[in-house]
Every structure is written in C-alpha cells, then in structure tokens.
A and B are shown apart, each in its own frame.
Chain A
Amino acid sequence: MKPVLMCCSVSVDFDGFYALQGADLKVYPHEVRFLIGPNGAGKTTLLDVICGKTRASSGKVLFYSHDITDMPEHKIVQLGISRKFQSPSIFHQLTVWENMELALKQDRGLFAVLRAKMSEADRDMIITLLQRIELLDYADQKAGSLSHGQKQWLEIGMQLIQFPQLLLLDEPIAGMSAAERERTGELIHEIARDCAVVIVEHDMDFVRRFSKQVTVMHEGKVLCEGTMEDIQQNEKVVEIYLGREEKAC
C-alpha cells in the first residue's frame, strides 16, 4: 500500500538548535498513528513541518506523490492535510456556526468566497457535524464563550468538515474531562474510516486505550515504532520515556 505521508530525514534548525535531526515517518491510509515522546522531543515541530508552519532545513515531505516541503500553508490545506493546534485556535469573535462555515471544504479564492452561498447540503453537513461534536445547541454562540473542552471539539469539527485525507492532531484531549476524552477517542476512530490521522498525545492511558501503531520520538529523531506492547518492551524507550514516567507516577 502507498503511504499517505512520507517524511524523509527531516531536520529543522532553530538558529543552531536542531529541534528535528533527520526524522522519518510513514503513515498509511486509514491509520491512526500516535506520536509520543518526552517534552521537547520534536513532536509538535514535526507536525509544523508537515503542515508548512515551520520549514524543514533539510529533508523532504511527500503527501502521496506531491512534494509539499516548500508549499505555502494554504495550498497544503487545499491538498487535504488539516491540522489541529495544541492550544485551541478557533475564531473567538465568530459564532460556532460561522467557524464551521469557514472550515467547509470550498473554493477559498477571493471571488468564489464573495459569491459563496450556503447550500442546503452545506447546511445539513454543518448540522450533522455539530450534532456529532455535541455543539448544535451552541451554534449561535460566539466561539470565545465555549468551555475549553468544547473549543477543542469545535476545532476537531472544523477539521472534520474539511474531509481531509490526513488529519494532524496535537494533544487534542488536553483540558478535557474523562467522559470527553472517551468520546474524543471514539471520534478519532470514526474519523479514521475516511482518513489517516497522526496524533500527538501525552496521556499514556489514552494512548494505551486507543492506539494501534505508536511512534516514539526522542531528541528530534524517531526512536522506534510499533504497538504499545512492543514499545513498552523496548529498553531504550523504557529508559528515556516510559521508565521516567513510571518513576514519576
């Protein structure tokens, strides 16, 4: 099977500090890939490189057969890669409904948007998705007034309505209650029926519960890959990461 995403020895140089030092990653269709690793391992930076927020100083990023290493952010999104940031970044001054409206998969050119009308199908789609993320009752509220967990869901909803082929999630369950976490985990697996997901997560219980393939990062490199069981057996991982965490617990 052809990978959706291929990162080939990607390095990122922040004025002499290498946040990524030749990271490799392959993600296949319908996969839910968890990225774990201690703080500062470079997980967020890797997602930033994939979505174009940060530029790789060397290496390549391929999305199917497109080389997206130097592509502008909005073009990468238009190809079908969508990104959820670590801190919820929705538009606080717009209503929940308007946030979803902007996220709709559409022609984002100026003149197309000037003429854009909300079609019946779009309206139904937004209603369905708002129901799924349990925000339909808040449709007319300013997004800034939502709770932290609701903001996270709204942002996930805004990714879903784009029907991306690759979804990048950075710590999506931060600040959520146990029930919300459970629901988010299920949501992520529902999503994976239609697209590949790369998800950065710190919460090990959540990873255990919802992961199949896990990639461990350390000091800007990929340390190893496998199921959670494989990884827990890996001595290096235990040493740098799990071991340390278990000690802390």
Chain B
Amino acid sequence: MIKKNWMYWMFFLALFLAPFYLTEFRLSLLGKFLCFAMIAIGISLIWGYTGILSLGHGVYFGLGAYCMAMYLKLEASGGRLPDFMEWSGVNNLPWFWKLFEHPIISISSAIIVPVLLAMFLSYFTFRNRIKGVYFSLLSQAIVVVFVTLFIGKQEWTGGTNGLTNFSTVFGFSLSSPLTQIVLYLLTVVLLLSMFLFSRWLTRSRFGRVLVAIRDSENRVRFLGFNPTTYKVFVYSLSAAFAGIAGAMFVLQVGLISPAMMGIIPSIEMVLWVAVGGRSSLIGAIIGAIVTNGAKSFFSENYPDIWLLFLGGLFIAVVLFLPNGLAGVYQSVKQRKKQGEVRANEASSHVLQRVSRF
C-alpha cells in the first residue's frame, strides 16, 4: 500500500516540511488554502461520491469560524465588553456569548453547530425526497438567511465587519511566527486525518452505498437500505469538516466576516472541487490549493485582470476536463498501463484468473 501510494505520502510530507522552505507570508497563505482543502474533501464526499450538490457550505464554514472567533474575541477583550458591542450600545455580554469564554465549548461548537444545522436541513429535505436542483437552491437559501442574520444582528456578530482584532489564543500571541507554525502543522494533521478517514469511508462498503445512491437512489431503497440515513450522515460529516476548517481559518487569518460565508464563496468551494476532480479526494485537496494559489498569484501580479484568468480557468475545466485534474492524471496513468498490459497480455490474464480464486 505504501509503495502504491507514495505520491500521497510525498505530498503530505511536503506539506509538513513547508515551514522549512516557505516564507512566513507564503506559509500563512498555504495554511489558509489547507483549510479550504478540508472543505473540499467534504464536498467531494457529498457531491463526487453521493451526488448531492450543496451550494451552501459557506454557512458551515462560517459557523465554525464564528464559534472560534467568539472565543478569540473574548480573550482579546480581556474581561471587558468586545469593542463592537460597545459601539452598538450593548451594556452586558449576551448569555450565549458567555458560553464562549470556555475554550472547550467554543471548539466543540465549531463542529457541533454546523453539524446540527446540516442534520436539520438534510433530514427534513432528504426524508421528503427533495433532491437535485431543489436541494441546491434550498442550501443557497440557507446562506442568504444566515448572511442577512449575521449582518443584521450587528450588536451580536460585529455586522459586516465580522469579528477581528484578536491577540492571543490560550495566552500565545497569534502574531508570533512560532504560534503560526504550530497552527499550520495542526492544520496539516487535521487535513491528513480527514483525508485518511474519508479514504477509508469511500473504500469500504459504506462508500459503495454512497456511489450506489448517486447512481440510483431508488434502487438503493429496493435493496433494503434507507438512503436518507446515509445522506444525512455524509452531509453532516461534510459540515463538520467545513466547521473545523472555519475554526482553523480564523486562527490563522484572524478574521471572519459574513462576506466570507456568502453565496460567492459557497459556489467557489464547489468550483475548487470541480477543478480538482470531484470523485477524487486527493483531487479535491489539490483543486482547492491550486485554484486558490492561482487566485493569489493572479491577484498579486495582474490585479486588473485576475478575475478574467480565474473565470477562464473554470470554463476550461468545465469544458475540457470533466473529471478535473485528477481525471487528467488518471487517463495518463491508464494509457501508460494499457501499453504495459499489451506487452504481456497473455501472462497477466492467467494471473488475474488464478488470483481471484
């Protein structure tokens, strides 16, 4: 297994070693991209494997980020009221903000809150057999609701500006390079765990049920499975990934605002996965990194026309690479393999037969 997948391990090794060869600025960018990669893994699970297109994952990301940010904000305010609350004329810390003084509550809510919302939404839609475009639209509606709510409730959420101006986490300065490196490494560990867990899922019988649901949900029912349970589970799992991504994002970027969880980011998340290849987990990770890398590169070097580049990239992928970057790699590998097979066709046929029994 290790030999066959040496490319994966090289990739993750390169990520682990990044603090040695990247500047502080580049490392923080990469850390941000890896958070996006976590979201991409979840979207690959639900979209690539199960066929559920969610255009609302910005919300789960945002909720995770806000849960973490509330803790950071309270820590930065040092017992006083957060600055934006004073500006909005609030006198006492709201009760639910008090809960986020506790790091355990804050960190676990970064997972639990998105998961609860995802379970609620997915259970009621999937149980009523709402599928396809209708589900996608519904997930967009949720985004609109939350963005409106977060902007409107300025005295609780910081409004359009969101939450920012953090100073420390558990007493460690967020601006110190060492803290940032530790946070980066934690991000890599989390990403690797999500990747390995998802890989195990997709390769087990559970993964075959997911693909079967994508193929023909009704048929799955007539084999005695309840697709609703499976869809709710995998959808909520992807929300958990997005929530964790949000928490790690806030720790490294130091800012979360409603604009980062809105409709455009939610659609972008799906596009990363499309670029990388939706039914490949590693493809989704690479898609998130490459797309966002290109975005930073173009916006740094060609600030006037970078959006055009990005648009062009997406159009090219959709038109020419239906299976994304992972699809290109697969077909190159296949072609190479076919050449080898032709070379020793006879012997391999015999071997295959023998090995099956």
Contacts A94-B208, A110-B229, A139-B356; is A158 near B215 (CB within 8 Å)?
no
- Asked whether A89 lies within 8 Å of B219 as measured between CB atoms, the reply is yes
B226 within 8 A of A: yes
Q: Which among A72-80, A214-222, A228-236 touches the partner chain?
A: A72-80
Chain A 150-170 interface residues, beta-carbon cutoff 8 Å to B: 158, 162
Q: Which among A58-66, A95-103, A195-203 touches the partner chain?
A: A95-103
Interface centre among B201, B220, B226 (most CB of A within 10 A): B226
- Asked whether B204 lies within 8 Å of A89 as measured between CB atoms, the reply is no
Min distance, Cβ A191 to any Cβ of chain B, angstroms: 17
Given the complex, which residues of A lie within 8 Å of B211, measured CB to CB?
Answer: 91, 93-94
B96 within 8 A of A: no
Number of chain B residues close to chain A: CB under 8 A: 24
Given the complex, which residues of A lie within 8 Å of B226, measured CB to CB?
Answer: 72, 74, 108
Cα distance A108–B230 when bound, in Å?
10
Cα distance A232–B224 when bound, in Å?
39
Cα distance A110–B230 when bound, in Å?
7
- Asked whether B204 lies within 8 Å of A93 as measured between CB atoms, the reply is no
Given the complex, which residues of B lie within 8 Å of A93, measured CB to CB?
Answer: 211, 214-215
B11 within 8 A of A: no
Given the complex, which residues of A lie within 8 Å of B204, measured CB to CB?
Answer: 113-114, 116
A83 within 8 A of B: yes
A51 within 8 A of B: yes
Cα distance A82–B224 when bound, in Å?
9
- Asked whether B205 lies within 8 Å of A89 as measured between CB atoms, the reply is no
- Asked whether A91 lies within 8 Å of B222 as measured between CB atoms, the reply is no
- Asked whether B206 lies within 8 Å of A114 as measured between CB atoms, the reply is yes
Min distance, Cβ A142 to any Cβ of chain B, angstroms: 11
Cα distance A89–B230 when bound, in Å?
20
Cα distance A83–B218 when bound, in Å?
12
Look across to chain A and name the residue whose beta carbon is closest to the beta carbon of B212.
A91
A92 within 8 A of B: yes
A49 within 8 A of B: no
Chain A 32-84 interface residues, beta-carbon cutoff 8 Å to B: 51, 53, 72-74, 77-78, 82-83
Cα distance A94–B216 when bound, in Å?
11
- Asked whether A77 lies within 8 Å of B223 as measured between CB atoms, the reply is yes
B185 within 8 A of A: no
Min distance, Cβ B5 to any Cβ of chain A, angstroms: 20
- Asked whether A101 lies within 8 Å of B208 as measured between CB atoms, the reply is yes
Cα distance A89–B215 when bound, in Å?
10
Given the complex, which residues of A lie within 8 Å of B229, measured CB to CB?
Answer: 109-110
B302 within 8 A of A: no
Cα distance A82–B222 when bound, in Å?
7
Interface centre among B211, B216, B218, B225 (most CB of A within 10 A): B225
A19 within 8 A of B: no
- Asked whether A113 lies within 8 Å of B209 as measured between CB atoms, the reply is yes
Of A74, A83, A92, A102, the residue contacting B205 (CB under 8 A) is A102
Look across to chain B and name the residue whose beta carbon is closest to the beta carbon of A109.
B229
Cα distance A118–B204 when bound, in Å?
10
Look across to chain B and name the residue whose beta carbon is closest to the beta carbon of A155.
B219
Cα distance A109–B230 when bound, in Å?
9
Of A53, A78, A83, A92, the residue contacting B215 (CB under 8 A) is A92
- Asked whether B223 lies within 8 Å of A113 as measured between CB atoms, the reply is no
- Asked whether B219 lies within 8 Å of A74 as measured between CB atoms, the reply is no
B295 within 8 A of A: no
- Asked whether A162 lies within 8 Å of B224 as measured between CB atoms, the reply is yes
Min distance, Cβ A121 to any Cβ of chain B, angstroms: 15
Look across to chain B and name the residue whose beta carbon is closest to the beta carbon of A110.
B229
Contacts A110-B233, A114-B206; is A73 near B212 (CB within 8 Å)?
no
A7 within 8 A of B: no
- Asked whether A102 lies within 8 Å of B209 as measured between CB atoms, the reply is yes
B221 within 8 A of A: yes
Of A51, A113, A162, the residue contacting B206 (CB under 8 A) is A113
Give a binary string over B190-210; 1 marks a CB under 8 Å from any A CB, 0 the rest.
Answer: 000000000001001110110
Look across to chain A and name the residue whose beta carbon is closest to the beta carbon of B219.
A89
16 contacts between A and B (CB under 8 A): A51-B222, A73-B221, A74-B222, A83-B222, A90-B219, A91-B212, A91-B219, A93-B215, A94-B212, A98-B208, A102-B225, A109-B229, A113-B206, A114-B204, A114-B206, A116-B204
Chain B residues in contact with chain A, CB under 8 A? 201, 204-206, 208-209, 211-212, 214-216, 218-226, 229-230, 233, 356
Known contacts A73-B221, A77-B224; 14 additional CB pairs below 8 A are A74-B221, A74-B222, A77-B221, A77-B223, A78-B224, A85-B222, A91-B215, A93-B211, A94-B208, A102-B208, A102-B225, A110-B229, A113-B205, A116-B206
The 5 closest A-B pairs by CB, nearest first: A77-B224, A91-B215, A73-B221, A116-B205, A108-B225
